[in-house]
Amino acid sequence: MSQDVPDAPEGTSPEAPDGLLTMTTGRVAHGGHVVARVDDAPDGRVVFVRHALPGERVRVRLTHSGEGRSFWRGEAVQVLEPSPHRVVPPCPYAHPGGCGGCDLQHVDLAEQRRLKATVVTEQLVRLGGVDPEQLLGGPVVVQALPEPGRAPGEETGLGWRTRVRYAVDRSGRAGFHAHRSHVVVPVERCPQVSDAVDAPGVTRLPWPGVTAVQVSSGEDGTVVRAEHGPARTRLPKVDALGLLGGTEDRPVRLAGRTWVRHDVPGAGRLRVGVDGFWQAHAAAAETFVRHVRHHAGVRPGDTVLDLYAGAGLFTLALAGDLGADGELVAVESDRGAVGDLRRNVHDHPVVRVVHDRVERALRGSDVPARADVVVLDPPRAGARSAVLEQVVARGPRTVVLVACDPASFGRDTALLAGCGYRLRALEALDAFPMTHHVECVALFTPGGAA
């Protein structure tokens, strides 16, 4: 199996005369790569290779190399000995030198999930200092999320994305960045996006003067936001609920509305701004709510903290379990998300919203000094010690951590263990098929509690 070899990105330094090196691939690594070593290289040079699978022999074009680097990066452009799990990528843009959005289109879906489970396990062992199989009574298994109209086991891994952010090149064509690059790869249609996201035809329209286009869909339609410089820009007409323009930090409503609606079983109805935080997979919100509610175990009268609350998905889900005497404090720092959050919880008197950074809010008087349940959904960098130490100081009986990065999850697990909280349950969810990303919903309880 072979592919056309793209030009090496500017600034790289391929070491072989033809710019290619023959390598044998080893284990999967966090970030969508496999670890490889240059055949017959005396120094055992390590290279992180994209578009490869463990156990393959490949020809690699280096993309980031040089003697001063502790490791190199490269892309497999020719497969000499393929893995039995290799497939033809369903997307025409998923190839070396192409779109950088999907790392695993060349891998069958079942193997994608096994590779992600391997990465989660490795990060928990190496960074978290725990053996998940020993703690949880079995290996980590990455679960597929439902796809509309398909039975379990018949997933395609395509058409799941309900919101997307396109980059725009200088000629006004929308697409995605190449891997670790500012180069925009224009696309006709991304097979990951839902029909609703594709319906306005953003990738087939000209966007002169625009730097990025955000498209978000909900139960009631789609909203489009175009980002551009301070000068007025003429935008194309789109068939959508709303159209926004303006600079990155100053959106301007041009027509229609600025938000979409999501109806989530177990949580209720939410409105979310076009560029607000929301899980992209069509089934993610309902799936996450189910697991978070189960692990949180909220009881009537509890005091609950929802940290990094976003638009209030978990806030609404947990508020319904509190009864009239409970209290839920939702903390969020982003101004736009707080606006959505306040609207979404307007009819829930047990909820109080705190607009602040989580670590600062936990040090202040707006957040209760004691809590029964704490739910955290931090950004990719994780919650870290400044937050987790404040969380455990409140003595919660349960901590539910939603983590979007296995390495950060491993580090936060170690921090919680150091504070006396042990990992009790874990769901690893394939919320981003065809990519290396995986979401984890984890339950921690103190000491030797069951």
* Among 6, 15, 237, 224, CA closest to 99: 6
- The region, left, alpha or beta by phi > 0 then psi within -120 to 50, assigned to residue 295 is alpha
Q: How far is CA 199 from the centre of its chain?
A: 23
Cβ distance 56 to 84 under 8 Å?
no
Task: Please give the Cα distance from 232 to 244 (Å, whole number).
Answer: 12
3-state DSSP assignment of residue 119 = helix
Sign of CA dihedral 34, 37, 38, 43: positive
- Maximum separation of any 2 CA atoms in the chain, in Å: 73
Positions annotated as catalytic residues are 404
For Cα atoms 243, 246, 251, give the angle at the middle one, nearest 5 degrees.
75
DSSP β-bridge partners for residue 210: 228
Task: Please give the Cα distance from 431 to 145 (Å, whole number).
Answer: 6
* Among 178, 249, 255, CA closest to 221: 255
Cβ distance 215 to 166 under 8 Å?
yes
Q: At residue 132, what are phi and psi to the nearest 5 degrees?
A: -60, -35
Task: Please give the Cα distance from 347 to 336 (Å, whole number).
Answer: 19
Q: What is the DSSP letter of 234?
A: P
CA R_g for the chain:
23
Task: Please give the Cα distance from 256 to 22 (Å, whole number).
Answer: 55
Distance between start and end Cα atoms, the chain:
52
